[in-house]
Amino acid sequence: MYFIREPWNHQDLVLDGAGSVGIGTDSPSATLHVAGDIRVNGDIVKTDDWGITAGGTRSSCRVRLGELNGSSGVYGLNGLIFASNTGNVQVANNLHITAQNRLRFYNNNSSQYWEIYPEWSDAGDPDLFFDYNIKREHTGWARGWLEPQGGWRAPSDGKLKREIKPLSNVLSQVMKLKPSSYRWVGTGDDSRRFTGFIAQEVEEVFPNSVSEKRGVKGLNYSDFAVLAIAALQEQQVLIAKLQKDIRSLKLGD
């Protein structure tokens, strides 16, 4: 075992007979064993399929990355944590994504993904876009965006649509809907009642407004605004006809 002593003590740098290097310890248990903090000004590169392991076995390791000044895009000590035993990534403070970079959510084989990104080209009104890669930007209809001063926007451009047909006989169908008040199951909160529709009841009248995921039916509530306008227009036609009939009867008298 070899010690580099002056001006350090015997624990500062050790090279043992097995070729292991110890820094801060005279009993290195790995090829490089550092008992203390490491500061790297360049890159740390690994050539196998594992990352940097810490905290025991690979199945329970946790890797923490942090920058006090935020130069790496992660703010705060231990700002970003990868835990292989849970598959989770934890951000302890703020995660900063700069320039035109996008946040993507991939499926298991990375063939599909959702992505979220800001549209900085309009500096006065930078929208936040949501895209799905199977239906890309040039098709348009698969994405939506948030406007900082105007809420959520859904694509509705006529050039994105085909087989456009006017709605008809909506009023009679709307009259079959059953607006309800209810409490949610399993919340433990009985302090208020909510208002809305029951998906199974809506499905009997407007099946295209109902979808199902994981055994739970959901509603596209934005459909009801269009249906309400169509029903109101039909009702207004009926009112106008009644008014005309009443005027005719009065003239007949």
More confident residue, 105 or 180: 180
Residue percentage of the chain with pLDDT more than 70: 71
- Give yes or no for a contact between 46 and 31, defined as CB atoms under 8 angstroms apart: no
Ranked by mean pLDDT, the top range of 6-20, 47-61, 64-78, 185-199 is 185-199
Q: Report the pLDDT value the prediction gives residue 239, as an integer from 0 to 100.
A: 96
Looking at the predicted structure, is the pLDDT value of residue 80 above 80?
A: no
**How confident is residue 219, by pLDDT bands cut at 50, 70 and 90?**
very high
Q: How confident is the model at residue 236 (pLDDT cuts 50, 70, 90)?
A: very high
